[in-house]
Amino acid sequence: MADVTARPGPGTDAAPDGTRRTTSTADRASGPAAVPAGRSRRPLAPRWRTRLEIAFFVTPALALLVLFVVVPVVQAGHYSLYKWNGLGPMDDFVGLANYVKALGDDVFTGALRHNLTIIVLSIVIQLPLGLAIALLLNREMRGRSALRVIIFVPYVLAEVVAGVVWFMLLQPGGVVDSMFEAVGLGNLTQLWLGDPDVALYTVMFVLTWKYLGLAVILFLAGLQGVPPDLHEAAQIDGASWWQVQRKVTVPLLGPTIRTWGFLSMIGSLQLFDMVWILTKGGPADSTMTMATYLISRGTERSQYGYGSAVAVLLFVFSLVLALLYQRLILRRDTHDAPSRKKVK
């Protein structure tokens, strides 16, 4: 009779001596886990390959940053230590004398004060006005698309074109004065660009007309991210339209508003072209900004060493204000974000 050897079942293992050993559920669970269906066994990309891909995409941007930002800043810092006219060799080393001269110049400190004034006026005027227009254009109304285009067109115009147009309009006896006289307000006409007490505010009016469209477009983009369900819920609870905007819409627009404030601040510090076209910093330096001071005292007078010192000061002021804004204002958009825990 044939000897029939028992084969190990699914829950048993064959021992070396021929005996059978039962495999427990815990033993089977301690083995290698099965790969779930639908997941591939493709190995992860090697670490060097990932780093190579990152370097491939980041290197061009870093090269441009170094070439057009870092190198000019370093060169400006080097030139600022010399009394150089831009033509001969730099052999007249003066150290920090150019910086001391700039910081002790009343015109330069006045230019810095004008930049700070423009920053404050931009936020005080453009923020509520741009927010009000954005809230209006966000509602369903006839001709909404045309109004959006009309408001945004000044922003896309070249500064030179806009500046020349407004320079002609604001001339004595020009279109602006004629409009005031046509409506019986001829006594309000001014030397809009020739009066030191009025020129800075005239420039600010032109800047508001020029850059208000950017604020409106940014705020409209932020309004698209506000869930309409929140508005409906607030209205069901009895909130008025004004209460909905003040308690729901504006707080949710906080990140967009703070980003626009940062862009407005940096643009106000670097303001040059519109002021240069309208007034060239005059009359009597009443509209002088740090950028126009740099050109008028540096390039036009062939004082490139002194102009480089002013450029370095402008860079330092902009960097300090940007870091303070990031630390005190923009930080609130990220400090509440959930921290990522490392998975071991």
Half-sphere exposure of 137 (CA within 13 A, CB side): 27
Rounded CA gap, 17 and 145, in Å? 88
Tokens 């115009």, residue located: 157
Hey, what are 332's tokens?
């609130």
**Is the whole model's pTM more than 0.75, yes or no?**
yes
Q: Between these two residues, 140 and 30, which has the higher pLDDT value?
A: 140
Highest mean pLDDT among 21-35, 101-115, 180-194: 101-115
Mode of pairing for the β-strands spanning 12-14 and 20-22: antiparallel
Hey, what are 271's tokens?
């303001």
Nearest 5°: CA angle at 125, between 123 and 128?
85
Model confidence at 335, pLDDT cuts 50, 70, 90, reads low
The amino acid present at 152, given as its one-letter code, is F
Half-sphere exposure of 100 (CA within 13 A, CB side): 5
In Å, what is the CA distance from 35 to each residue of 38, 39, 41, 43?
Answer: 9, 7, 8, 13
Give one DSSP letter per residue of 164-228, joined into a string: HHHHHHTSTTSHHHHHHHHTT-GGG---TTT-TTTHHHHHHHHHHHHHHHHHHHHHHHHHTTS-H
Half-sphere exposure of 258 (CA within 13 A, CB side): 16
Q: Where are the alpha helices (DSSP H) in the chain?
A: 25-29, 47-65, 71-79, 97-103, 106-121, 127-137, 144-156, 159-169, 175-182, 199-223, 228-236, 241-244, 250-252, 254-269, 273-278, 290-294, 304-328
DSSP secondary structure letter of residue 14: E
pLDDT at residue 18 greater than cutoff 90: no
- 223 with 89: CB under 8 angstroms? no
Q: Between these two residues, 175 and 22, which has the higher pLDDT value?
A: 175
Each residue of 289-302: pLDDT tens digit? 999 999 998 888 88
Rounded CA gap, 189 and 173, in Å? 9
Judged by DSSP in three states, 339 sits in coil
- 238 Cβ contact list (under 8 Å, min separation 6): none
Give me the sign of the Cα torsion angle 176, 177, 182, 187.
Answer: positive
DSSP secondary structure letter of residue 95: T
pLDDT at residue 5 greater than cutoff 70: no
Each residue of 234-292: pLDDT tens digit? 888 888 888 888 888 888 898 999 999 999 999 999 899 999 999 999 899 999 999 99
Each residue of 161-206: pLDDT tens digit? 999 999 999 999 889 989 989 888 888 888 999 999 999 999 999 9
Give me the chain's average pLDDT, please. 83
Long-range contacts of 90-95 (CB under 8 A, 24+ apart): 90/305, 94/305
- What residue ranges define each of the domains in the chain, with the CATH number in brackets? 80-332 (1.10.3720.10)
Hey, what are 195's tokens?
């009066």
Average pLDDT of the residues in 323-327: 90
Tokens 């190579």, residue located: 52
In Å, what is the CA distance from 267 to each residue of 198, 219, 231, 305?
Answer: 22, 18, 34, 25
Model confidence at 337, pLDDT cuts 50, 70, 90, reads low
pLDDT at residue 123 greater than cutoff 90: yes
Average pLDDT of the residues in 197-223: 93
pLDDT at residue 29 greater than cutoff 50: no
Closest CA to 215 of 328, 127, 314, 143: 127
At residue 274, the pLDDT reads 93
Average pLDDT of the residues in 117-144: 90
Rounded CA gap, 124 and 265, in Å? 12
Q: Between these two residues, 340 and 124, which has the higher pLDDT value?
A: 124
